[in-house]
Amino acid sequence: MNAMERMQRRIFRDQQKQQRLLKKYSKLRHYAGRCEECGCKEPNPVQHIDESNIAITYNSPYLCRDCYIKKYGA
């Protein structure tokens, strides 16, 4: 296997990994209508967003404004 074939395989693996991540994180999590911290009904939930890491954003809980301020401080 020469260097060109190794590079093509690496590029192909990277493309497959990106496609799996996009498929996993493209669907939004279901919001149940309640704050995931205190359980109060919340029509307008707040969620932590990290622009550099999609996994943090995807897995961050839906919170009411008070719980968000307690947890993240802003």
CA triple 30-56-12, angle to 5 deg: 100
Radius of gyration of the chain (CA): 19
Q: Quick check: 25 pLDDT over 80?
A: no
What's the rounded mean pLDDT across residues 42-61? 86
What's the rounded mean pLDDT across residues 35-43? 92
Which residue, 40, 38, 41, 35, is CA-closest to 62? 35
Encoded amino acid at 19, one letter = Q
DSSP category for residue 61:
P
Q: How many residues does the chain have?
A: 74
What's the whole-model pTM score?
0.63
